Amino acid sequence: MSSFLSEEENNFYINEGYLVRENQFTIEEVDALRGALERAVNSAHEKANEGKVYYLDKKKFVDVGYMTLQYEPKPSEDILRVIEPAHILDEQLYSLTRDKRITDPVRSILKETEISLWTDKLNLKRPRGGSGFGWHQDSPYWIHDSKNIDLLPNVYLSLDDADEDNGCFRVIRASHKEGCLPGTADGTQLGGFYTDPNCFNESDAVNLRIPSGSLVFFNQHIVHGSEPNLSDQQRRAYIITYQPKDQPMLKSGAVININ
Ligand SMILES: O=C(O)CCC(=O)C(=O)O
């Protein structure tokens, strides 16, 4: 069965910069994917011993080959926050990058039948303190590495029910229309990657309260972020980003076409 976007969905994505499709994966599938995610986390922890450790704005990062691990700030520095890319750590995550429920809507967005993988990451917002993500766009991170900066749609798969309590994903509706916006010039190392708050209106924020197994398609230019997880519940997500076919991946430079 194909999962292409309807004209109405496509128009919504074009105008708003995002689109939600709830309950695309069954509870059993989500359970299996949570297992894959936690296996990937264990494997990343093991590999981290061989990696190169560095700090940006006092936050710990480890590069292992072309994989980057980001940790929670002190005193939780042993807790992984982001793994990018993650498909190399687990066969099931790799298969997911080819699942038609994810890739057919991307084909609709890119208006292409063949696409390739740009990057993928696991965001592990753990209970009682998993950090938030300040308002930002993805495109300024990628502009120096991609020739297709306007053609990098993201897909967010929620692996837990999410709402404001556990730091659900949020977008500034229609903010993608401005292209790459300026960053904050606050003198920190990472400040330039957070969007200047004068360039968007926080009252346009949409909190995406979604059940596990839901997908959010979002434009690489949309301003997005999320609050910390102060609840007792997990808020785990897998975000996969695509591009036109035959293009090298961010970090590894490998070409992974998806037909
Ligand atoms: O997982 C989230 O809530 C936000 C993720 C995000 O902004 C990102 O990975 O670029």
Return the structure tokens found at 102.
Answer: 């994810």
225 CB under 6 A from ligand 1? yes
Phi, psi of 63 (to 5 degrees): -100, 125
Structural domains in the chain, sorted by start: 7-246 (2.60.120.620)
CA distance 173 to 202: 9
Model pLDDT, residue 185: 82
Nearest residue CA, atom 1 of ligand 1?
A: 123
- Ligand 1 geometric centre to CA of 193 (Å): 13
In this predicted model, what pLDDT tens digit does every residue of 201-223 receive, in sequence order? 999 999 999 999 999 999 999 99
Model pLDDT, residue 186: 87
Tell me the H-state helices in the chain: 7-16, 27-48, 91-96, 100-110, 139-142
In this predicted model, what pLDDT tens digit does every residue of 81-116 receive, in sequence order? 999 999 999 999 999 999 999 999 999 999 999 999
Q: Which residues of the chain have pLDDT under 70?
A: none
Q: At what angle do helices 7-16 and 100-110 cross, to 10 degrees?
A: 70
237 CB under 6 A from ligand 1? yes
Model pLDDT, residue 41: 98
CA distance 102 to 6: 14
CA angle 158, 54, 80 (to 5 degrees): 25
Q: What is the pTM of this model?
A: 0.97
- 56 C-beta neighbours (distance < 10 Å), count: 11
Element (H, E) at 195: none
CA distance 205 to 215: 18
